[in-house]
Chain A
């Protein structure tokens, strides 16, 4: 595939009508919460865009993110958009192997210096000089630094890349860190999730290509269009929460009635993601709809949030074991204070001096 072809021409060659393309642009614009006037702008910009060089680095990851993205509503325009991104390096999807694969990365970096986008899934281990994960003999740490040097922007896909994720979970044996910890001189967009929603990824890339700048991000580096509100605020089971109707177990009457899953450990209230609105598998369903509490997978440390099935309000420490010791210590201290008080009282009684009539009338004499 030639790289100088424009997206519009390629779509036409594929038999995608302008109408369908405009519809898709409107869809993208509305996904990103942009005004309706942005749709034709996006369409024009995307049609004129050259294939954007993308280098995809996979570090400490499970390929779930790639699996998710390749399943974006196939076969629709999203797949085509991905076709028109020049994915120059991607372990799982590229045909080349061995040296040829690494050369492809180097060639893409040289040809698109300062213009390519680096997508990263997986965290980077930094403990012991980063020896815990290497590709082609290059440690993840070195490969990231080398590749990112001339990139336009970095997109951290999935919770591992965005926040350290599972490899970074307690006790974090490899010293795994988020991409934003290591890349501080380039714009980094986080698209967390385990895995992330495919549309969030596609629309964010489209935004960067269309406007040549990053979408609006929240304080955790996530596009606000997808991570602006919590699952809880958009959950169709929310009325049950407000009414105080909760499923107490996975097979009780409440669960069958589709009541709120808060007591079963739902992390929806503290999780910002678009699952409740965009849903998964072409808008079919999402975890809460299938009867399972939200795990909070798009939030930092979701693996260490004190148990998936523990209600959000529950303490994360085992209190009863420590209570005995505290009570015993309190008892000992209480007895000690009591004894101290008694000895004080005894001393006071001992040093008590009786007041005589003379003492009281001393002043009267003068």
Chain B
């Protein structure tokens, strides 16, 4: 198989399969989660839950309190850097905006490529730091299972291959681009069936937490 044939395969049928599996998996998981339902609240509601629910969804993007921060400095800093960096690389790189535009039909402005490049480097550094923590911190090490490492690898691979592709490093551009797209497709397929789903479900759980507290009278 030549690099061009491989590229055609990943941009064509494999991309379609990955997208469909992701959409299928996500709707399946969301329906499953919603059908779990909530226990009826037998206590009298003291205040509305909707407002605090929505506020909690976004308030929790803000940095954690000092006590938690001082306990896990690396986790907090590397965690923020990696998540923000990944967001920038995935959604604000010109070539990526093109893909999203071609699928969804609308586009947004992209950041200059060198900025995205910088974000990608920070993301990789933060991901490596978090992996190091996971493998050395006794408690985290004890709690780590195979799927944690899998999810780490699935997240790291697209950033690394994307970086190599952008800089034309090691292999030819066509091979790198194809491998990069393939790594993203693996991530897409795994997304609904692993811990990666938190990128979507976090909003529901935050809303739930905020709403429950609100109904009990704590207007977050």
Report the separation of the CA atoms of residues A244 and B98 in the bound assembly, to the nearest whole angstrom.
13
Q: A233-B168, A326-B20, A334-B35 are in contact. Are A313 and B4 (CB under 8 A)?
A: no
Decide yes or no whether B177 CB sits under 8 A from chain A.
yes
Residues of B within 8 A of A (CB-CB), count: 47
Shortest distance in angstroms between A3's beta carbon and chain B's nearest beta carbon?
A: 40
Mark each residue of chain A from 244 to 273: 1 if its CB lies under 8 Å from any CB of chain B, else 0: 101000000000000000110000011000
Is B13 within 8 A of A317, CB to CB? Answer: yes
Question: Which residues of B, 1-42, contact A by the 8 Å Cβ criterion?
Answer: 2-5, 7-8, 11-13, 15-16, 19-21, 23-32, 34-36
Decide yes or no whether B112 CB sits under 8 A from chain A.
yes
Closest 3 CB pairs of A and B: A334-B31, A338-B35, A330-B27
Report the separation of the CA atoms of residues A341 and B35 in the bound assembly, to the nearest whole angstrom.
9
Please name 27 pairs of A and B residues whose Cβ atoms are closer than 8 Å in the assembled complex, sorted by A.
A243-B112, A243-B114, A244-B94, A244-B114, A244-B116, A300-B2, A301-B4, A305-B4, A305-B8, A312-B177, A313-B95, A313-B99, A314-B98, A314-B99, A317-B13, A317-B15, A319-B16, A323-B19, A326-B21, A327-B23, A331-B28, A331-B31, A333-B31, A334-B28, A334-B30, A338-B35, A342-B35
Is B5 within 8 A of A317, CB to CB? Answer: no
**Chain B residues with CB under 8 A of A220:** 2
Choose one: A244, A301, A327; the contact of B113 (CB below 8 Å).
A244
Is A310 within 8 A of B102, CB to CB? Answer: yes
Q: A327-B23, A338-B35 are in contact. Are A270 and B8 (CB under 8 A)?
A: no
Shortest distance in angstroms between B115's beta carbon and chain A's nearest beta carbon?
A: 8
Is B113 within 8 A of A338, CB to CB? Answer: no
Is A270 within 8 A of B103, CB to CB? Answer: no
Q: Is the interface of A mostly helix, strand, loop or mixed?
A: helix
Choose one: A270, A315, A334; the contact of B27 (CB below 8 Å).
A334
Is B15 within 8 A of A269, CB to CB? Answer: no
Q: A316-B8, A334-B28 are in contact. Are A270 and B102 (CB under 8 A)?
A: no
Q: A316-B11, A331-B31 are in contact. Are A322 and B25 (CB under 8 A)?
A: no
Question: Which residues of B, 108-141, contact A by the 8 Å Cβ criterion?
Answer: 110-114, 116
Decide yes or no whether A335 CB sits under 8 A from chain B.
yes
Q: A244-B114, A316-B8, A327-B23 are in contact. Are A337 and B96 (CB under 8 A)?
A: no
**Chain A residues with CB under 8 A of B197:** none
Residues of A within 8 A of B (CB-CB), count: 48
Shortest distance in angstroms between B64's beta carbon and chain A's nearest beta carbon?
A: 33
Question: Which residues of B, 169-191, contact A by the 8 Å Cβ criterion?
Answer: 172-174, 177, 181
Shortest distance in angstroms between A298's beta carbon and chain B's nearest beta carbon?
A: 11
Is B32 within 8 A of A322, CB to CB? Answer: no
Decide yes or no whether A329 CB sits under 8 A from chain B.
yes
Residues of B participating in the A interface, judged by any CB pair closer than 8 Å? 2-5, 7-8, 11-13, 15-16, 19-21, 23-32, 34-36, 94-96, 98-99, 102-103, 105, 110-114, 116, 168, 172-174, 177, 181
Q: A242-B113, A306-B11, A322-B16 are in contact. Are A313 and B96 (CB under 8 A)?
A: yes
Shortest distance in angstroms between A363's beta carbon and chain B's nearest beta carbon?
A: 31
**Chain B residues with CB under 8 A of A329:** 24, 27
Is A242 within 8 A of B114, CB to CB? Answer: yes
Is B2 within 8 A of A315, CB to CB? Answer: no
Report the separation of the CA atoms of residues A302 and B34 in the bound assembly, to the nearest whole angstrom.
47
**B25 — nearest CB in chain A belongs to which residue?**
A330
**Chain A residues with CB under 8 A of B112:** 243-244
Report the separation of the CA atoms of residues A327 and B20 in the bound assembly, to the nearest whole angstrom.
8
**Chain B residues with CB under 8 A of A308:** none
Shortest distance in angstroms between B126's beta carbon and chain A's nearest beta carbon?
A: 23
Shortest distance in angstroms between B208's beta carbon and chain A's nearest beta carbon?
A: 17
